[in-house]
Amino acid sequence: MERKYYAWLLFILPFFYLSACKKSNPIIPSTNTVTKSNAPFTNIYIGGFERNNSPYYAAEYWLNGNAYKLSVSNANNYLLDLAISGTEVYGAGYQNDLSGAFTLAKYWSNGQGILLGNPNQNSAAFAICLSGSDIYVTGQSFSSAGIPEAILWKNGLSTLLSNSTLGSSGNAITHIGEEIFIGGNNGNHMGYWNRDQFFPINENPFGNSYGSYQNINAIQIQGNNIYLGGVTDTLPGQEKAAYWKNGNINLLPDSSVNSGVLCMVHSGSDVYAGGYRFNANHVFQACYWKNGQLVSLTNGTFESMVIGMAVDGSDVYAVGYELNSNEIGIAKYWKNGQEYPLTDGLHDAKATCIVITKN
């Protein structure tokens, strides 16, 4: 799936170089008008994680509003991306080991968690996609020297994407047929990998000597065009939401200092980029841009972000979270601007990804 690296992972992944309450299950409004018995049914899968009665976060997903846990253990588990094949659910993310000393890359296949990488070194999986019978996961693993390295796992077997001494990360993944494309960072450059080759983009025509944060968080392919979404610095301390089309940068209008793109999706000729902007209240505010036009999804009182998006016909979905007055994250989604909470606000939670299927 076209996924992303997360600015908000600063809360939960401090080692990276970027830095029994019953849950109410709201009814998701129907996206179908069924006039025939053979009309397709829409399934909405939303992935994320939630802290319940235990002190640990559990990876979980919601199917049409009903919550299903992928992990219940004495360790934190975070689901960051989903891929669906028929009724089979695949996920990518990471868990803390039981000692709390390491985070370990992980993917889930039909509810079974499978660890990736070296159990004695930090790693995380950020994105997953399916091509035929193959499962592709990308992310980051730390070398014995403590350098983050971009990794691609195919059916559990790892391939090093970069040996840059400055660090690298595979943050987003998609495919066209058997061609795999991975968006991410390679040393001081942003771009994507294809066929073991890295293609840098024109990441910052304003100059990148400020040492400010830059990152690729999303990748999409539409026809012959390759889109990358993320963050770039324009002036010292000014990080702007942007996307790149075939390597050329497009700064998103009405984005503020400290804004970013965390996900992208296409529908026909329309380009959607979801993420956040730092508003006049000095709060990160969930938003997306449609063809460059800003759409804010909250009133901006409390911190919120859009982390995943999908389009189904004329319906636009965004998923993410919003803090409440107690600074507890509420996992939620927005359909055409109307918000629907997935959790009750008693335990911290975030929604990170969305997949829509028909059957």
Q: Which whole number is the average pLDDT over 48-62?
A: 91
26 has pLDDT over 50: no
- Note the pTM of the prediction, 2 decimals: 0.88
Q: Report, as an integer, the average pLDDT of 62-67.
A: 96
Residues 6+ apart with CB under 8 A from 353: 1, 3, 46, 47, 48, 79, 80, 81, 82, 307, 308, 319
53 is written with which tokens? 């009665």
Cβ burial, residue 43 (10 Å; 0-12/13-18/19+) = middle
Query: In the chain, how many H helices and how many E strands?
Result: 0, 28
- pLDDT level of residue 16 (50, 70, 90 thresholds): very low
- Number of domains composing the chain: 1
**222 lies in a domain?**
yes
Residue 265 lies in a domain: yes
What does the pLDDT average to over 132-143?
96
In a domain, 138, yes or no: yes
Mean predicted lDDT score pLDDT of the chain: 86
Whether residue 228 has pLDDT greater than 90:
yes
| pLDDT interval class at 73 (50, 70, 90) | confident
User: Whole domain around residue 120: which residue ranges?
Assistant: 7-19+43-358
**Residue 140: inside a domain:** yes
- Asked whether 78 and 61 are in contact (CB, 8 A), the reply is no
Give the residue-averaged pLDDT of 179-187: 95
Confidence bin at 209 (pLDDT 50/70/90): very low
In-domain check, residue 153: yes
Return the higher-pLDDT residue of 140 and 52.
140
Please check whether residue 85 lies inside any domain of the structure.
yes
pLDDT tens-digit series, residues 92-123: 999 987 677 789 999 999 889 999 988 889 99
Q: Is residue 35 part of a domain?
A: no
In a domain, 25, yes or no: no
Q: Which CATH number characterizes residue 95's domain?
A: 2.120.10.30
